Chain A
Amino acid sequence: MALDTMTDFRTRLQDWLPKLVLAPSFAVTLLFVYGFIAFTVVLSFTGSKMLPRFDFVGFENYAKLFALQHWHIALANIAIFASLYIVICTSIGLLLAILLDQKIRGEGVLRPIYLYPMALSFIVTGTAWKWFLDPGIGLERVMRLWGWESFSFTWIKSNDLALYCIVIAAVWQTSGFVMAMFLAGLRGIDNEILKAAQIDGASNWQLYRRIVIPLLRPAFLSAFVILSHLAIKSYDLVVALTGGGPGRSTEMPATFMYSYTFTRNQMGIGASSAVIMLMTIAAIMVPYLYAELKEKK
């Protein structure tokens, strides 16, 4: 009898063990991710300043947020930055992938060169580009020393153009990664389809325009999702490259949230800006992840 209960216990333990081992991860995720999200959402409806308070003020923070000039600058900047970043990264990535796919000698050397920036931190990237784009010591000076006396490149000091410096550095960092994604997609295309089209007299241009690029749809989708979520989260690069300046000209939602929450003691407004960021990313990621996980079944 005792032996029976013993084996019974053991089998039941074996049934429960997997869930027991998974439980801590799941609990931690529920608490630290979803619990924290809920907490920040709640905070965004309170009048919290330096410390969290629970005096509910309804949508006041959101109303204040969208009345702030500062937030409008951040929104305009992220819109410009994200669209340029996504379009340029995708174009360069696709171009390089197609060119590398032409039976190139030295592909094994070129590919890692295109991709290594992805291994660097945005702070390192920001430091390198900050000084390279600095008119006093960087590109402008180099061009003048090389004899182009009238060359001028002062974007990083300009209220209107500093944002494009962030685009340059961000593209430099991630375009190689997009290249790798497209290259993997290209290598997965069945050559028989291409040969058949060639026999039908399709030109190279038509081949890419009509067959190859449409077949790369999944890679385009992945690139878009990854790049857009990277763009919305971009914080480090802005801090390292421009610090949000000159003035507030390169402020982004991520830097806005940080400064309102931790340096300006407007926690309620900071929380509401974080909620807006989350909703934007969720609008892109949730359908994508849902589709990916659904397909697997």
Chain B
Amino acid sequence: MTREMTGAKMVIEALKEQGVDTVFGYPGGAVLPIYDEIFQQNDIRHILVRHEQGAIHAAEGYARSTGKPGVALVTSGPGATNAVTGLTDALLDSIPIVVLSGQVPTFMIGSDAFQEADTVGITRPCTKHNWLIKDTNTLAATLHEAFHVATSGRPGPVLVDIPKDVQFATGTYQEAAPADSHYQPQTKGDLEEITELVAALEVAKKPVFYTGGGVINSGPEASKLLRELVDATGIPITSTLMGLGCYPASGENWLGMLGMHGLYEANMAMHDCDLLINIGARFDDRITGRLDAFSPHSIKAHIDIDPSSINKVVPVDIPIVGDITSVLTDLLAVWKERGSKTEAQDVAKWQEQVREWRNVRCLSYTSSETTIKPQYALERLEALTKDKDRYITTEVGQHQMWAAQYLGFEDPNRWMTSGGLGTMGYGTPASIGVQVAHPDALVINVAGEASWLMNMQEMGTAVQFRLPVKQFILNNERLGMVRQWQELLHGERYSQSWSQALPDFVKLAEAFGAKGIICKDPKDLDDAIMEMINYDGPVIFDCLVEKHENCFPMIPSGKAHNEMLLGNADTQGVIQSSGAVLV
């Protein structure tokens, strides 16, 4: 059955066929026909953001918390250029989002028309793929292909640029046919390599699982299989920032996060292990530290759906290209079929060593009765919210690392943070995207005051759509992480790293029509957090914390995993100029 309709109508039909229920967007001249169609239907909910960057991060939050692709709609020119940061963020963290942008009519492209930008040119390096539509007859098929590309293989952001005349013109609607696409990434791992990994697990004395965001992207089944695998083998497991929740923080084999601000036991295990099994992570520089001293004694296995991730920075011995769910299914089948066991005595000794490292208690800090320590604030937030249906987003900086260290995640899709790109301003719109997808859940954005100000306009969105997001701001009146690096690396010259002329956050909340709470005394903290949780609406929580707290543990730039700094006492003269050039 062929169906004739306008391009604008086709956009709505294609979104419906793809199962889209929510679009985050902002109207403008070049997308008016699509907005006209949005006005005339009730199947797709449009969330009006206050800035296009917010639309993209909200779509990311929606995608990350549901496993479905997020969708954003922006106008041409500035609408599209404002989307660039969000697209890059989604590319680095492999988040499936589909962005539709308006474009000037085809006959005006190249004439420097009003609000014209070369959107496909600008977004080419920051999308997984993008398309400029020249003919309404190809629009529907391209939109379906966009969803297919965004969600297949290693997920990522895609953009479809739709000129205004294409939206007005009539064409034939085509239904989705993902099997016809030539883009079909390999998902099944090589069985020989998988068997080799099982054989390695059987004889390893000091094995460790190093997991990442790929486990979460592979879907909830992957996390389930991972838990089965850890139970079957009894091997300690750590995770990157992006993978938190794929294994429960309460699990007995959980080491905590690894990397630059990872836990002592996790980093030491990575350094000393003899078998390192990377599942859906990518040996990012925040993880590896100094490459030539990274896990020097281990055989390395790497399971990843993207062949280009393998051997990119760390050469591996057992490469397995495939989807985590598929590979872990096969791995467990081989494990059972062979009646595999780990070397019980050796692994018990290894676990004993891990317990010793745990006893270092690397997350301990000097508590205070007069000022709120940021770590204490997060400990209390954890204690008071962990039993709730809770989702956490963050901004970027010290508070993000503390949140990763002090909050525990039991399930995947509960933790939304900007890992690869480190985008300040991510958390507020992301929390909105999460809350739209989970209207009854408790959604908290753990923020720093400087990051939070970067996309604070989205409070308007939260209020308009009655999204009760909680903005938990650890306010140290500093760009904390910048300040920390300046203290450690730049002779305590605190160049431009303080937040001056901060707004009164309580008044700001009230100005938006939200609730404001301020807390500066540790004794009042629990009551204040409860007040935030119990308030039925968006809250800005201004938590005034210790201003000069540093985030530990820390692997300084250019150092190895076993050269961690555990506290201020360790920092004297340890960072050399060779490390200072690294970020």
| Same assembly | no
Interface residues of B, Cβ cutoff 8 Å to A: none
Interface residues of chain A, those whose CB is within 8 Å of chain B, are none
